Amino acid sequence: MIPPVQVSPLIKMARYSALLVGIIYGKKRYDYLKPIAEEERRIETEERKKQEELERLAKQLAEANEDTILK
């Protein structure tokens, strides 16, 4: 088996610097996108409630139309 090669300190520093920059970028991006996603979820929840209410009313209206003397 070949013995491991000594890695240059410059390469090590570049790798860890890139890792640190990536972590910082990810945190900033997450903080930027989190409120946008929360707002989208809130809007989606409101729309779902409205849709459920409309479906409930349509179902009640259909049931009311079924109850007739002409059966």
Tokens standing for 52? 């459920």
DSSP label of 70 = T
Reported pTM: 0.62
Q: How confident is the model at residue 70 (pLDDT cuts 50, 70, 90)?
A: low
Q: What is the pLDDT of residue 63?
A: 83
Q: What is the pLDDT of residues 2-59, one digit of tens each?
A: 888 999 999 999 999 999 999 999 999 999 999 999 999 999 999 999 999 999 999 9
Domain locations in the chain? Answer: 35-65
What is the chain's alpha carbon radius of gyration, rounded to the nearest angstrom?
30
What does 12-57 look like in DSSP terms, one character per residue?
HHHHHHHHHHHHHHHHHHHHHHHHHHHHHHHHHHHHHHHHHHHHHH
Question: Does the pLDDT value for residue 68 go beyond 70?
Answer: no
